[in-house]
Every structure is written in C-alpha cells, then in structure tokens.
C-alpha cells in the first residue's frame, strides 16, 4: 500500500482556510477548497470543528522533499448511486466538480454497465494549488446482477500501475505523470445491517491495490447510537473478512508529543471508519 | 387483482382504537393493534392524524356479507434488509411480530438465498379479532447476483392460488382456509434516484398476481421536498414501466358524498405511493 502524507501538523491545526483565495482556472474546471477533516486532540467536542485546509500540506511535503510543487490528489469514489458520493467530494473541497451532471433515468440505469469517469479540477487555497482528480464509478451496485461489477474499477487501477511502470522504464523519466490512485473512498449504505456481500467482495478485490477508506454514507440519517453500533459492526466485519483498510503510517520518532497524540487520534478515528453527513 | 375492503367509513373516522383491548392469544403470537392510516378529507393538515383502527372493518364486512367473522389479513413484505420492514409492520399493528428475530451476520448473509418465512399473530381491538399473517422474504436484494431472486416470492404466491383452487375443487368446501396474499408491501430504498432495476424487475414479476403497495422506506431521513420529488419520480417510473400498483376500488354509487370524497383522497394518496417513517 502507498503512504499518504499526514493530514496536518500541530502548528496549523487552528488555521482556517482562506475561502477568498484567488481562483485558478485550468482546462477541466476551477474552484476554491477547504478540507473538513478535524484533528485537534485536546479541544472539547464543540470546538473540535475547526477546519484544516490543504494549504498546510506543502509545508510538510516541502520539509520532506525539499521542494515546492503543485500537489496531485487522485480519489476513487465507489458506491451505489444515491449515497452522496458527489456531494461529499463537493463539500470536502468546497467546489462543484459535477456541473454538467445528468442523473440517468430508470431505463438508462437498467441498460448501464459499470464504467469509470475521470473528473479533474484545479483548486487553489492560500496560493497552494491542488490538482484534484476524482474517478467516479457510475452504475456500480445498481444492476440486478452485480457479479464482478468491480472489475472495471480494478482494471482502471491496474492500468495506472502499468502506465507508471512503462513510464519509469522509458528513456524520458523527468516528466512522468503519476496517475496512480491515492485513495479509494468506499461508500457503505447506512441502511443495511453492516456490510453487504457486494461491499465485502469489492473491498476484497481492491484492498491490495489501493488505500481503502470506508465511509458510512448519509450517517446524519442515523442517530448517534445507531452510528456507533454501525461503525462497530462494520469494523468487526472488516476484520472478520481480512480486508485491509487504510491505516495512517507511523509518525517519525523525532516528532513532538502533540503531533504524536494527534496522529494517534487520527488513527483511532479511521479505525472506526469515517462518516459522511450530506 | 383482488379487491380489499375500504379502510374505514365516515362515521368511524374520528374513533381512536382501544389500545387497552383484551389480548387474545393464539398459537403463533399475541398483541393489540392500531391501524395508522389517516383518511379525513375535510380536516386541516395538523388534525389529519386521527387514528382509524381496524375495529371499524367488520361493520363494513358485516354490511356487505351479512355475517360477522374473524378477519384474515395476509401481507407480503418485500425489500432489501435494513429498510424497516419489520418496524413498519410492528408500528402498523402495535405489536411485536419478530420477538425471536436474529439478524444474520455477514458470512450468513453471503451464503443466504431468498426464502419466505411466515409469521402469524392474532390481534384484537374492541372485541374484533384479526388474524395477521406477514410473509417475510429475508435475503431479497442482498446478494451480489440478484437475478431471479424474486422467484421464491412468485412461487409462494402461485402455491397459495393453487392450494385455494384445489380446495375449491374438492368435496368439503365449507371450511376452506384462504391463504392467498392480500397485499404486497414493496419497500423502496430512500437513497436511490427513483426505482432500481431490481425494483422494476421484481414488481413486474409480481404485479399481476398480488396487490402491490410501494412504500418509500425510512422517508423520515429525507426532507419534505426530497420526499415529494422522490414520490413524483417513482410514480413516473411506475407508469413508464407499466407496473400495476394497487388502486382502491370504485366505491358504490349509493354511498354518501363524504365517503366518496374520502375515497378520492385515499386513491390520490396511494397514487403517490406510501411513505414509512420508522
């Protein structure tokens, strides 16, 4: 599994994103952005909603790599239709990635097979550019027969690995474009009693190829107690079926105590799966 | 399609059910009951929630058939797991039909095929007995491949028709037990954009054999505007695919005006599909 950089660092955790940042336009789209992940370990619950923008990321990348650059972020969004996938992506980055979206009618849904659609947008926050790519999988889980409906998704991921391998084996290796998927947001229905057989089969097919972050979709339609029970149940089933979901990497031993604490909290949160309130 | 008796009559529409009615015990279960269908045509919206119990039904049956008897009510409950099927039945009849219920774990759900389970309970309200039978279809819609997962349901309905036909063709016709299904409550997920291909296929397989009442499950997780849009969308798709859902029968021409008005309202409501708030 590939490692992602940590979400934020302690010195930046109270910093709000600059929503008035100048909009940068590229071929595929434009927007401003804010990351809604919270990670303050010592604050009480009601103050725990401070936003942490991705504008803090380059500092860390800079510290690690010694150079500034445009960040690339490639998400794979998998789940049945109607679970709020597009809404979550739009909320997460305060953008409108699906301007020309057309919801298929019933007949189109019946005829539809699973395919992958790539949306790319360049967003800017505090002068930091992120090239956000979201790969959608319309039709997944909607058919009567969903056998191997995860194959197109698996193929897409494999193709990106193959492309990168070919580019790295080539002569001109200075400008390789890395299109490998960083993260797969797997949306779980809030209705079922835990994971469905389709969820298990799909996650098992993908878990060794991409970092899976399970998301309980539309969790605001559940009570707090239900959310807790569902998280526990899903976590149990994920362990039972040996599915490897994304685990935050261990932080460096020379980091300060606050950072280590925050890191622990983030790990604990992802162990319980994320929830989406759309 | 078979006709059901109308739900209530004007003289009884403000009558609340007697929840303290003596409990009648039978082999399969026991309970008291209340029907939560409201049908007052002239009352404003906030007063439109008066309960109409099934205790009013025998008066109408008596009027039509000239004899009093124990009423039989056979429901078929179809939908994916987690849509609140059991909760709706329990709320509708203020009973606990699924005392020994065990939610299958993930491995059991993967191995599970669709089958039909019959629950019977005898409930009493104001001295009126109703023998309520609910046929559950666990496993429906939960598998990865749901092709023809409606076959066991179709077979069950056909078997009841066949049994009744055999009984009617026999010598002793005085004590025939009619097990034909009165009504199929088809639960539609509140998450999808309208009907799913599985919903269309299943309803099309059953609509000529049983009265289908589509129910938008867990509609309280949607806003009023979303509920309205979803109802409209589902109604359109039901018409588009030529699915025959249950329509209230025309009332007798000699009924009074209030009754006719109430009848019209009930018809209009069912055209928009029912919603369940569990």
> Average per-residue pLDDT in chain B?
74
Q: CB A197 to CB B109 under 8 A? A: yes
Domains of chain B: 10-139+150-275 (3.40.50.300)
Size of interface A-B (CB pairs under 8 A): 89
Give the pLDDT confidence of B44-78 residue by residue, as tens digits.
444 444 556 666 665 555 545 444 566 788 999 99
Min Cα distance B91 → chain A (Å) is 18
pLDDT above 80 for A11? no
Chain A residues with beta carbon closer than 8 angstroms to that of B105: 194, 237
Q: Distance between alpha carbon B56 and the CA centroid of its chain, in Å?
A: 18
Chain A residues with beta carbon closer than 8 angstroms to that of B107: 240
Chain A residues with beta carbon closer than 8 angstroms to that of B83: 191
Give the pLDDT confidence of A179-224 residue by residue, as tens digits.
899 999 999 999 888 899 999 999 999 999 999 988 888 888 888 8
Q: CB A106 to CB B191 under 8 A? A: no
Res A203: pLDDT: 94
The residues of A whose Cβ lies within 8 A of any Cβ of B are 80-83, 103-107, 109-110, 142-147, 189-198, 200-201, 217-218, 221, 237, 240-241
As a whole number of angstroms, the distance between CA B120 and CA B107 comes to 28
Residue A176 banded pLDDT, cuts 50, 70, 90: confident
Between B104, B145, B197, which is nearest A109 by CB? B197
pLDDT above 50 for A30? no
Res A18: pLDDT: 41
Q: CB B145 to CB A142 under 8 A? A: no
> Average per-residue pLDDT in chain A?
74
Give the pLDDT confidence of B109-148 residue by residue, as tens digits.
777 778 888 888 888 877 778 888 999 888 898 888 888 8
Q: Please list the helix, strand and coil fractions of chain B in percent, rounded to the nearest 5, in that order.
A: 35, 15, 50
| Closest-CA residue of chain B to A82 | B192
Tokens describing residue A175:
């400008």
**pTM (2 decimals)?**
0.74
Between B104, B147, B193, which is nearest A103 by CB? B193
Res A208: pLDDT: 93
Give the pLDDT confidence of B81-108 residue by residue, as tens digits.
888 888 888 888 777 777 777 777 777 7
Name which of B240, B141, B230, B154 is nearest B194 in CA terms. B230
- Residues A141-145 have a mean pLDDT of 88
Q: CB B147 to CB A146 under 8 A? A: no
Ordered alpha helix ranges (H), A84-223: 85-92, 106-111, 151-169, 197-206
Helix (H) or strand (E) holding B37: none
Tokens describing residue B103:
């939610």
ipTM: 0.71
| Closest-CA residue of chain A to B198 | A144
Between A104, A106, A189, which is nearest B191 by CB? A189
């Amino acid at each position: 599994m590939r490692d992602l950089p940590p979400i934020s660092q302690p010195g930046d955790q109270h910093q709000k994103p600059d929503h008035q940042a100048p909009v940068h336009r590229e071929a595929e789209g434009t927007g401003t952005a804010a990351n809604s992940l919270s990670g303050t370990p010592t604050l009480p619950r009601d103050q725990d909603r401070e936003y942490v923008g991705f504008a803090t990321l380059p500092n860390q990348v800079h510290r690690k790599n010694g150079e500034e650059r445009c960040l690339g972020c490639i998400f794979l969004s998998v789940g049945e239709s109607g679970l709020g996938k597009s809404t979550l992506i739009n909320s997460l980055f305060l953008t409108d990635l699906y301007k020309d979206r057309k919801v298929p009618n019933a007949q189109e849904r019946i005829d539809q097979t699973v395919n992958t659609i790539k949306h790319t947008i360049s967003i800017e926050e505090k002068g930091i550019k992120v090239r956000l790519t979201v790969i959608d999988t319309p039709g997944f889980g909607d058919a009567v027969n969903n056998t191997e409906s995860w194959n197109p998704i698996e193929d897409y991921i494999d193709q990106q690995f193959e492309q990168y391998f070919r580019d790295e084996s080539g002569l001109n290796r200075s400008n390789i474009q890395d299109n490998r998927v960083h993260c797969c947001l797997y949306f779980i229905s809030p209705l079922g009693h835990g994971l469905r057989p389709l969820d298990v089969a799909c996650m098992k097919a993908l878990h060794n190829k991409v970092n899976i972050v399970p998301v309980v979709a539309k969790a605001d339609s559940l009570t707090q107690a239900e959310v807790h029970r569902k998280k526990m149940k899903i976590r149990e089933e994920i362990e039972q079926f040996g599915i490897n979901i994304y685990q935050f990497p261990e932080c460096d031993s020379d980091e300060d105590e606050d950072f280590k604490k925050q890191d622990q909290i983030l790990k604990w949160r992802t162990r319980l799966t994320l929830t989406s309130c759309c």
